[in-house]
Structure 1
């Protein structure tokens, strides 16, 4: 059993190293790799081969999850280009973005406090639209090799994903 652990996620999934990917081809390649390397196929093999199959399957799953997620894919492309997104250390954001975050949080808190599931779902729909727009912007920035701006877009997306989680938690709390 041979496998190139040094291959990039894009090479592993036979995709060009760019933000826009062919989701159908990604899924098809994932299924093919799983069929080829799934640990169950090596149940009767020796311990070393079983371990290798498990390592390969783990690597395939990790790479698939990263390429499937626009935020993780953008972050990975930046990492390949040697850019640190500084998500843990750089919280500086444009003022209009921060003000928008405050407005979102206030609206979520109001809807949560009143148990207004319809309002929370409307906020979720609106937020998903903003996330989609920002993902498209991230792709454009990466394609234009505007990596510093792309890193800011990744940090913004991370903020929006946290808001999305807050809305989901609020909907769940209101329903139960």
Structure 2
């Protein structure tokens, strides 16, 4: 019993040192117990007179959580998960997912560097993207974060809204098109497509692209240009399906080769549209 009492005294004395004197001196007994566990509380109370004298006869029997003020609100942020961000204005925890506004004070936040474009646009990390859902998400975010909505706010809020809007635009443009989406997924996987993609794309497709470019350069007929464009779009659709299959299998090298081919055909398609 004496050893248990000493253990309780050491625990309590540690707690007293962590309470400001001005605060603790005004209370009949300690109302803030920063580190005392429920086991220590029971240990002190079980010692009889000494424990009752230290804690008070009306001390609660329920476990006391660290940092809790009895009869009051817990101190904010004590249970925040490591790595999670907090609001720059009020300090509230923002959580692990991309948060554009503080859930407490509703102030716009800075972009989260840990978020991918898929996170920002609320999409599954997949090459197969629901384009309509992507568009709805884009419109919703643009309406919420447009800089015009913050013209009367602080300079910091205006800057954050502009930064968020630019990031949303980039995320949307990247995920909207199969080629840019695929290249971004390669980048997330640590694979980059070199500027000179000739060594990656097979010679058959390179020759085919060269012939299409020559035909397009010589033609002065709109119908023939449209036929070339139709042929290119068909090839791009086929390549898109193959890329999707490669990503589903986790074969990034195969996806890299196919995206290199896709890049050449996209260049031809852009020339047709011009």
- TM-score over 0.5 for the alignment? yes
Q: Which residue of 2 is the match for residue 116 of structure 1?
A: 221
Unpaired runs of 5+ in structure 1?
A: 170-176
Once the two structures are overlaid, the 10-residue window that deviates more, 97-106 or 156-165, is: 97-106
Residue number among 96, 116, 123 corresponding to 1:8 in the alignment: 116
Cα displacement (A) at 1:156: 1.1
Q: Distance in 2 between matches of 1:21 and 1:98?
A: 28
Name the structure where helix makes up a greater proportion of residues.
1
Residue number among 130, 151, 176 corresponding to 1:22 in the alignment: 130
Matching of residues 20-99 of structure 1 within 5 Å = 20-86=128-194, 88-92=195-199, 93-99=201-207
Q: Distance in 2 between matches of 1:154 and 1:11?
A: 23
Q: Distance in 2 between matches of 1:94 and 1:135?
A: 17
Once the two structures are overlaid, the 10-residue window that deviates more, 160-169 or 51-60, is: 160-169
Indicate the RMSD between aligned Cα atoms, in angstroms.
Answer: 1.3
TM-score by length of 2: 0.58
Q: Distance in 2 between matches of 1:90 and 1:18?
A: 24
Rate the CA distance shift 1:63–1:153 in 2: closer, same or farther, 3 A. Answer: same
Q: Which residue of 2 is the match for residue 103 of structure 1?
A: 211
RCO higher in structure (CA 8 A, sep ≥6): 1
Note if 1:149 corresponds to 2:254.
yes
Could you tell me whether the CA contact under 8 Å between 2:127 and 2:182 is conserved in 1? yes
Q: Distance in 2 between matches of 1:125 and 1:147?
A: 28
Could you tell me whether the CA contact under 8 Å between 2:198 and 2:206 is conserved in 1? no
Unpaired runs of 5+ in structure 2?
A: 1-107
Cα displacement (A) at 1:168: 2.7
Q: Give the length in aligned residue pairs.
A: 165
Q: Which residue of 2 is the match for residue 173 of structure 1?
A: none
Q: Secondary structure at the match of 1:135?
A: helix
Cα displacement (A) at 1:55: 0.2
Q: Which residue of 2 is the match for residue 174 of structure 1?
A: none
Residue number among 111, 132, 141 corresponding to 2:237 in the alignment: 132
Cα displacement (A) at 1:21: 0.9
